[in-house]
Amino acid sequence: MLIRYLIRRALAAVVTLVGVSMLIFVIARVIPGDPARIALGPMATKEQVQDLRNDLHLNDSLPVQYWEYVKGVSHGDLGISLYTRGPVADDLIKTFPATFELILASSILMIAIGIPLGTLAARYRDGIIDNFSRLFSLLGVVTPNFVWSVSFMLVFAFWLEVLPVAGRLSETVMAPPHVTGLYLIDSLIAGQWATFRDAFAHILMPAAALSLASIGQTTRLTRANVGESYERQYIEFARAYGFHEGRIAAKYALRPALIPTLTILGLDIAVKLGSAFLVEAVFAWPGMARYGVYVILEKDLNAIVGTVLVIAAFFLVINLIIDIIVAFIDPRIRLGVRGQ
Amino acid sequence: MKRIFFMLAVLMAAFAAPVQAETILRTDEVAVGEMDPYKAKDVADSILLYNLYDTLVFPAVDGSGSGVKPHLAEKIDIDGTKYTITLRDGVKFHSGNVLDAEDVVFSINRMNALGQGFSYLFKGRIKDVVAKDKRTVVVTMVKPYAPFYAALLRLAIIDKDDVLAHKVAGKFGEFGDYGQKYLHSNAAGTGAYRLESHDPQQLTVMRKFKDYFAGHAAKSPDVVRQRYSLKDPTILALMSRGEQDIANQWIGPETQRSLVGLKGVTMLKEPGIAQYFIKLNTTKAPLDDVHCRLALSYALDFKAIHGQRRITDEYVGAKPAKGPLLETMMGYDPTMPDFAQDMKKAKAELAKCKYKPGDHRIEITWIAEVSWEERMALLMQQNWGELGFKSDVVRVPWVLFTERTSKPETTPHVGQINFNARTPDPDAYLYPLYHSSTHGQYNAMEYLSDDEVDRLLDLGRSTTDPAKRATIYTKVIRRIVDLRPSIYGFQMVNLYPKRDVVMVPTLEKPNMNTGLMGGNLIFRLMEMK
């Protein structure tokens, strides 16, 4: 049952990706500005601009351009970036792991802090923890992540000088041997503890800045959903049976409350891939979010389409993973039982 | 036994001897750092070009202020359309290959074939280029073209054998891709620094090239790390912690102010590279009337405009302009008066204009990515409002601005542009700004069509005698100022925050400024303290 469901979702994902590629292909070409002129600079002659337009097939009709693009993609060629002048695929391979590591770290913070805090807030409603979580969530949600970034940088890098300012590693530290592209994991695999410590120190501030809004949102969602669970009769029964409060919270209140929370979190994690731009910019984090914004500003057509496709694929994969997790949490979904 | 102990002690002492730590210079620039010198077009690319590669000529950096001199070339003889270039003997590329005439021929052909970067300085001008012998190259021009000598400042000489050894299939016949893939992330030059690693969005690491033909300053940095795309707060934090030595020129005034407040941080001043223009579309009413344009110019508060570029009393990012030419260029006339606000003259000019100030609304644009231009636009609105002109201040993203300025009817009334000198030759500055053949490019958004200006600019190109050229350019700038297609806000003084751990002679010693975009950050001349 589950496998059939997954196959159906995977096929839908392929159709979605094709649709996204067509849509973004057209949108990228509608943005004002001639990409050839932007790439060559203001002093290039008209002939030079025309030559480059021909190379990029920009003088062809949109269907022809799209066909040329699809032909390239089928060979794993996403074209050349006019921004970096290198193959788009290489740029994405180089930048994606950095952003993914950042998102992963911020998502861990979001789950590790947001869910327990929300559960405690629901359990001790209107108490000190609840009031604290409310203030914390509000601050997290209303303050843009670049403000957190700059504030963290001022406090921890500029005044206290306890955390590094920029990049993924210090200039004296070599990157670990490439396995996943995630320095924290690769350094652990290689047993390079010093590199791990350095990478950890570098990711702390950007991950925290990126996660605060999500922590706030997770806390509020969890609080609301767990609060609802606490009002159910089975919680009363559990209490009547004399179960420990911790067991009631984790097993009977939190578990059913996790399903809507996880669905929203899935979306939130995927959205981070695009919204990490400002955090990456402030901390000079060499990631894909920053790359994506620069290529839009430069009207770098191949890179725009490539970046959006990766974001869309990431979005679909994350949602698929969430669906699987939800299916495991909720047996009705796993067993294909419709709601009563 | 004693002897053995003694030898061991000597050996241990040798191993324990203190090792001289290498000096590292940390800088930053705006992304991306283009590694292929034939695709270079801005400051970051130019810095890479002048440190990893060499050119046949280069501005004198001996303090003599004697202008552009042979560099990789030993001498260049000019005879009408024929340039005979004699190369220095024994210059080595980073690969170990020795520079010869074939490398120069290959470089010129590659520049023309790729048609990118600064190739517009050469395209269509060269009839023939031949290696006469190992050290002699003869370049024949289609017709006399005086700016060619200065244009050579943008022609990096590359290692033909190294590039062809790494070519892959491409559209250039026997030359494959002309080594584009290889030169995207490798350098094949003779420069004072060789490339250690390069990520165009992140970081370039360069290391001193020991066999460099012109030598290094005694304390020049052993390693240079040039980062890209750092934001202002990041630069502030890095410099305050001593983790960055020179910052880029584009950071905001507030950050610059904070930086010079730090202990041991000053700012390098780089005049003569760029000018701030307020450009007027001369095809649109009321700016198609020269008297209206003059009225707007006289009404502008130039003191307030300069004030916008003030960081502290010591550091002001502007100095008065005297027309469209930079002070480092041939033909610049220091006797021309500074522009100043004069409302009496403004009203007198307005009275001669065929339009009433209220007849047309003026669209004043500012580039979305250059925040200080908004303040300039608001100042214009206020000053011109005093004459009765009604205007709208409009924020325009750069890509849209270049699109709009491609046709006179879509070009706004007023645009603001900082225009960089690609070479110190006045032709490279004035021709793209005011010759009618360049209409359609944002730099010529005035759409000035004046036969006399065109004639003088063409004459300046074809005249080879420097003295005669200087007279021509003085004449042409006077003519342009009379027509006032642009208002000359100020000459930019680029400000680079710098820690006192490094000395940059090109900007700190007299007569060393190269007047070349990206040409003052020459690492081999710098001294680490």
On whether the CB atoms of residues B137 and B91 are closer than 8 A, the answer is no
On whether the CB atoms of residues B35 and B187 are closer than 8 A, the answer is yes
Whether B238 has its CB under 8 Å from any CB of chain A: the answer is yes
Is A340 a residue whose pLDDT tops 80?
no
Residue B201 to residues A98, B42, B244, B318, B335: CA-CA distances in angstroms?
13, 14, 17, 30, 45
User: Which residues are B139's β-sheet partners?
Assistant: B83, B129
Q: Does the distance separating the beta carbons of B422 and A291 come in below 8 Å? A: no
Question: What is the C-alpha to C-alpha distance for residues B204 and B423, in angstroms, rounded to an integer?
Answer: 25
| Highest mean pLDDT pick, A45-49, A229-233, A333-337, B378-382 | B378-382
pTM of the predicted structure, to 2 decimals: 0.86
Which residues of chain A lie closer than 8 angstroms to B123, CB-CB?
A: 45, 47-48
**Which pLDDT belongs to residue B123?**
84
Which residues of chain B lie closer than 8 angstroms to A94, CB-CB?
A: 199
**Which pLDDT belongs to residue B3?**
57
Other Cβ atoms within 10 Å of A10 Cβ, number: 12
Closest alpha carbon to A40 in B120, B332, B351: B120
A44 vs chain B: nearest CA distance in angstroms?
6
Whether B363 has its CB under 8 Å from any CB of chain A: the answer is no
**Which pLDDT belongs to residue A77?**
87
Mean pLDDT over B61-72 rounds to 88
3-state secondary structure at position B73: strand
Which residues of chain A lie closer than 8 angstroms to B231, CB-CB?
A: 281-282, 284
**Which pLDDT belongs to residue B14?**
46
On whether the CB atoms of residues A32 and B403 are closer than 8 A, the answer is yes
Is A227 a residue whose pLDDT tops 60?
yes
Residue of B nearest to A288 (CA): B201
Q: How many residues does chain A have?
A: 340
Tell whether the torsion through CA atoms of A174, B242, B316 and B64 is positive or negative. Answer: negative
Q: Dmax over Cα atoms in chain A, in whole Å?
A: 84
Which residues of chain B lie closer than 8 angstroms to A295, CB-CB?
A: none
Q: Does the distance separating the beta carbons of B41 and A51 come in below 8 Å? A: no
A151 vs chain B: nearest CA distance in angstroms?
10
Whether A147 has its CB under 8 Å from any CB of chain B: the answer is no
Q: How confident is the model at residue B473 (pLDDT cuts 50, 70, 90)?
A: very high
Q: Could you say which of B41, B227, B402 has the minimum Cβ distance to residue A33? A: B402
**Which pLDDT belongs to residue B17?**
45
Residue of B nearest to A80 (CA): B181
**Which pLDDT belongs to residue A334?**
64
* Chain A interface disruption, residue of B168, B177, B201, most A CBs within 10 A: B201
**Which pLDDT belongs to residue B5?**
53
Mean pLDDT over B288-293 rounds to 97
pLDDT tens digits along A273-309: 878 899 999 999 999 999 998 888 888 889 999 999 9
Is B11 a residue whose pLDDT tops 50?
no
Which residues of chain A lie closer than 8 angstroms to B237, CB-CB?
A: 153-154, 157-158, 165-166
3-state secondary structure at position B250: coil
Query: Where would I find the H helices in B319-425?
Result: 343-352, 372-385, 398-404
Please provide the distance, in angstroms rounded to a whole number, between the alpha carbons at the two ends of chain A: 19
The answer to ipTM > 0.95 is no
**Which pLDDT belongs to residue B252?**
86
**Which pLDDT belongs to residue B399?**
74
Tell whether the torsion through CA atoms of B79, B139, B212 and B150 is positive or negative. Answer: positive
Is B10 a residue whose pLDDT tops 60?
no
Beta strand B24-29 pairing with B223-228: parallel
Question: What is the C-alpha to C-alpha distance for residues B271 and B309, in angstroms, rounded to an integer?
Answer: 13
**Which pLDDT belongs to residue B16?**
47
Mean pLDDT over A66-77 rounds to 86
Is B18 a residue whose pLDDT tops 50?
no
Tell whether the torsion through CA atoms of A133, A139, A145 and A149 is positive or negative. Answer: negative
Question: What is the C-alpha to C-alpha distance for residues A292 and A303, in angstroms, rounded to an integer?
Answer: 8
B4 vs chain A: nearest CA distance in angstroms?
38
Q: How confident is the model at residue B4 (pLDDT cuts 50, 70, 90)?
A: low
More confident residue, A261 or A134: A134
Mean pLDDT over B257-268 rounds to 95
**Which pLDDT belongs to residue B7?**
55
Mean pLDDT over A12-21 rounds to 88
Q: Dmax over Cα atoms in chain B, in whole Å?
A: 107
On whether the CB atoms of residues B501 and B529 are closer than 8 A, the answer is yes
Question: Which amino acid, residue B521?
Answer: L
- DSSP, residue by residue, B343-359: HHHHHHHHHHSSS-TTS
Q: Does the distance separating the beta carbons of B237 and A153 come in below 8 Å? A: yes
